[in-house]
Amino acid sequence: MGVQKPHLIALARSWPRLRLGALILLVALVALVFGGIRGISQLRQRYRVNQAVEFAQTAGPGSNWWLNTIDFAIDDNYRALLSDRERVFEILIRSAVDDPEEARRVHSVQTIRVILGPRGSSTLRKRGLNWAIGELAEARLSPAVETELATAIAEWARIEGLNSTQRSVILSKSKSASPALLRAWAHVLTTIGGREEMEFLISIGDTHDPTLLLAVHFSALRGSCWPPLLPALKRWLDDPMVAPHALKYSLLSHSSEGRKLLLAYAIAANHPAKLRQRAVEGLQETIPGTKLLLDAIETPNFRESLANNIGGDPRAKFQAALAKLEERNGKEFWSELIGAVDSQYPNQLPSPTTDIEKAVNKAGSRARQESSEQALRCLKWITGRTDLQTQTDWQSWYVTTRTSALAQRELVALVLKHPEALGQVAILRRIVPHHLGELPADCIPLYEQMARNGPPASQYWACMALLHYTPKTDVTPLVINLLSQEQRDNSAKTSSGLLDLLKRRFAENFYWDVPAWREWWAEQDRRP
């Protein structure tokens, strides 16, 4: 065995260290290369976002941006803004206040509204609310920017809610606004819908400013079922400028006192014939209203007034209207329910090409199939017939049997036993019986049972029917309990039908503050 040379021995001993060093150097070089590539990519993305911001400030949001859906937002500028929302938000709020050009300030607020829409970040939306309301206190906004901010506040508050301080600022701003700006703030106040906001809106409801009239009366206020609104409606009906708007309030058609106001308006000869006809139409929306008209024509003076106003034989017209309303739970109901079996609707997208379009059509087909199966189950539950399966079978059955109308009590009993029946439109549209104008006395115990013991969806609809069509309010704690449950189950806290129900009935709004709702109700309960 030969003698090894010293330098070869040293090389052999150092080779592991050299190999490790080379590996470390290689890793460092790779990291440097990839880091550089990533850095370049980030710089390019940042530049792309800046371009998108500039586009938005110059041209405003694209028409498809307002959909607030990432899946269908095909606009590259919109995608870029969504990729870096927080930085974009900071840039835009500075621009909304400080940009020297008003158009860019307006476009900045509009773009903020888009990126903070329903699918946006709740954290950013709350920051947006705080910023927008803070800017109001500064009183340095142009009318155009303030109008956009008001619109943004209405949209964000509906999702995130407002605290008492924020509401106070908004109400104060509304009260001090010029008539032109008050139009925008009236929209915010109807969205909030609390007691002070409602009272202020009522106080300006007599305005003769055409645009402000629309802002106040062409709003969610129309759907209110708050009883103290009736005196204001009576006053508005006596004002020729306001009456055309007041006649559209649902409280007139769907409350006993409201129907009396409509009848008094319809038979008063001093009112315009066209508006009196509208009052007659409002009465014919419900069975009790139509019966009021039939009773009125038995009085000679009233009969002459109504006949002159509507032409022809009023008795025949009112009887026909009554028959049509009573048919809603009869022929019309059966036709709608049977028509949902094996329903053949065309696809939403006739020629899908993308995966998204194909998914939309597939979802639509699945929904139609589920609706058809549900309608079939409902028909079997109602009739007890299990041998009929197709739409043709059921149509033949109905033509042969001409089965009688389904009484409201029977409909409620069906939903109480089978809550899933509410998924069928023919049943859901009748469970809150607008056409009846009031809940039949024999149905009220069933609705109360549904409100206490049904699943959340049944409870909601039962509470709506009781609060809208009876003077009873003892289900209110159940609504608040449902709101509490919804808050726990829905961390995003999107707008709620439960909040809308409480606002419409009581003109109160504590948003998602369930303890505040409970405290408020405890105070109501203690009142004599």
**How far apart are the C-alpha atoms of 426 and 431, rounded to whole Å?**
9
Counted residue by residue, the chain has a size of: 528
DSSP state of 437: S
Long-range contacts from 517-523, C-beta under 8 angstroms, 24+ separation: 517/480, 517/483, 518/477, 518/480, 521/476, 521/477, 521/480
**Residues 417-431: tens digit of each pLDDT:** 999 999 998 999 999
Q: Would you say 196 and 168 are in contact if contact means Cβ atoms under 8 Å apart?
A: no
What pLDDT, on a 0 to 100 scale, did the predictor assign at position 73?
A: 45
What pLDDT, on a 0 to 100 scale, did the predictor assign at position 313?
A: 83
Residue 65's closest CA among 133, 157, 363, 55?
A: 55
List, in order, residues 6 or more apart from 335 with CB less than 8 Å away.
none
**How far apart are the C-alpha atoms of 45 and 27, rounded to whole Å?**
26
**Residues 277-292: tens digit of each pLDDT:** 999 999 999 999 999 9
Given the structure tokens 């769907």, which residue do they identify? 254
**How far apart are the C-alpha atoms of 374 and 260, rounded to whole Å?**
41
- The mean pLDDT value of the chain amounts to 87
> Average pLDDT in the 217-223 region?
90
**How far apart are the C-alpha atoms of 305 and 311, rounded to whole Å?**
10
What pLDDT, on a 0 to 100 scale, did the predictor assign at position 220?
A: 87
Given the structure tokens 């607020």, which residue do they identify? 109
Q: Would you say 112 and 152 are in contact if contact means Cβ atoms under 8 Å apart?
A: yes
Residue 173's closest CA among 126, 199, 138, 145?
A: 138
DSSP state of 443: G
**How far apart are the C-alpha atoms of 251 and 24, rounded to whole Å?**
79
- What token pair was written down for 496? 């709620």
Specify the range with the lowest mean pLDDT, choosing from 33-37, 180-184, 186-190: 33-37
What pLDDT, on a 0 to 100 scale, did the predictor assign at position 492?
A: 46
The helices-and-strands tally (H runs, E runs) of the chain is 28, 0
The pLDDT-based confidence of 405 (bands split at 50, 70, 90) is: confident
The pLDDT-based confidence of 409 (bands split at 50, 70, 90) is: very high
**How far apart are the C-alpha atoms of 271 and 281, rounded to whole Å?**
15
Distances (CA, A) of 376 to 304, 409, 414, 415: 50, 21, 14, 15
Q: Which sequence spans correspond to the domains of the chain? A: 44-160, 224-325
Rg (CA), the chain: 32
User: Can you state the angle between helices 143-160 and 102-115, rounded to 10 degrees?
Assistant: 10
The pLDDT-based confidence of 74 (bands split at 50, 70, 90) is: low
What pLDDT, on a 0 to 100 scale, did the predictor assign at position 35?
A: 56
What pLDDT, on a 0 to 100 scale, did the predictor assign at position 157?
A: 93
pLDDT at 231 over 60: yes
pLDDT at 5 over 60: no
**Residues 257-313: tens digit of each pLDDT:** 999 999 999 999 899 999 999 999 999 999 999 999 999 988 887 877 787 777 778
Distances (CA, A) of 138 to 2, 165, 169, 173, 313: 94, 15, 11, 11, 63
Q: Would you say 512 and 161 are in contact if contact means Cβ atoms under 8 Å apart?
A: yes
**Residues 459-498: tens digit of each pLDDT:** 999 999 999 999 999 999 999 999 999 887 765 455 589 9
> Average pLDDT in the 53-72 region?
77
**How far apart are the C-alpha atoms of 475 and 452, rounded to whole Å?**
8
**How far apart are the C-alpha atoms of 102 and 147, rounded to whole Å?**
12
Query: 203 or 306: which carries more pLDDT confidence?
Result: 203
pLDDT at 41 over 50: yes
What pLDDT, on a 0 to 100 scale, did the predictor assign at position 1?
A: 47
User: Can you state the angle between helices 287-296 and 256-267, rounded to 10 degrees?
Assistant: 40
What pLDDT, on a 0 to 100 scale, did the predictor assign at position 489?
A: 73
Specify the range with the lowest mean pLDDT, choosing from 341-345, 370-374, 428-432: 341-345
pLDDT at 361 over 50: yes
DSSP state of 298: T
The one-letter amino acid at 210: P
Given the structure tokens 């049904």, which residue do they identify? 454
CA neighbours closer than 13 Å in the CB half-sphere of residue 127 = 15
What pLDDT, on a 0 to 100 scale, did the predictor assign at position 486?
A: 87
What pLDDT, on a 0 to 100 scale, did the predictor assign at position 190?
A: 92
